[in-house]
Amino acid sequence: MGPMEIMWTITGVMVPLLLGTAWAMLGLSPPEFWIARGSTLVAALIFTASSIVWISNIQWPTSSRVLIAAALGLAALIGFSECLRWVNHREIIFLAQQRSAADKRASIRAKLQQFYVESGPLLNRNLPKNITDADFQKYENEVNVWVNTTARWIQQNLGDAATAKFTDVGGGFRVWTHNLIQ
């Protein structure tokens, strides 16, 4: 086995390995775009260097070597540029998803903060020791409306687990006595 066969064997192993690494880096969570680009560029460099060495060392007529060099160059240019374009496209999609998720979390956070602010006057209200049953019932109804409204929103926007966590008072003070989320 001569040096050209060894060089092409190494190229045949390294280029797919590097492209597979690029593919794998895009499958991580979060993806590693720079490693994917670097792996693609190193694969392109190895393929291009091997092609140049091979074309310059074969003993074929010049017209055949030029034709083969053009074919290899075109294949490398299209193939590797499309690989890089695909990595860039995946990054654009990933960043758009990140922005969308951040926007959604911001609106959810704002609504939860609004519920928190609304609960302050209810929980911190000074109730007299000799409060009438009618006044306490009015207070209890006001709290129940807030709890049910908040629990319903959490159910619709955050799911069952978040609702269960919100409605679990852990054996603490509990004003509401009705079923939640009616």
Distances (CA, A) of 158 to 82, 90, 105, 108: 40, 28, 10, 9
Q: Does residue 172 form part of some domain?
A: no
pTM above 0.85, yes or no: no
pLDDT at position 177 is 47
Question: What secondary structure letter does DSSP report for 148?
Answer: H
Length of the chain: 182
Residues 60 and 139 in one domain: no
Sign of the CA dihedral running 134, 139, 176, 158: positive
Residue 182: predicted pLDDT: 45
- Tell me, yes or no, whether 92 lies in a domain: yes
Side-chain-side CA neighbours of 171 within 13 Å: the count stands at 0
Look up the domain containing 129 and give its range.
125-167
53 occurs within a structural domain: yes
Stretches where the chain sits below pLDDT 70 are 169-182
Domain count, the chain: 2
Q: Are residues 137 and 75 in the same domain?
A: no
Residue-wise pLDDT tens digits, 115-154: 999 988 988 888 888 888 888 889 889 988 999 999 999 9
169 contacts: CB under 8 Å, gap ≥ 6: none
Question: Tell me, what's the pLDDT at 80?
Answer: 93
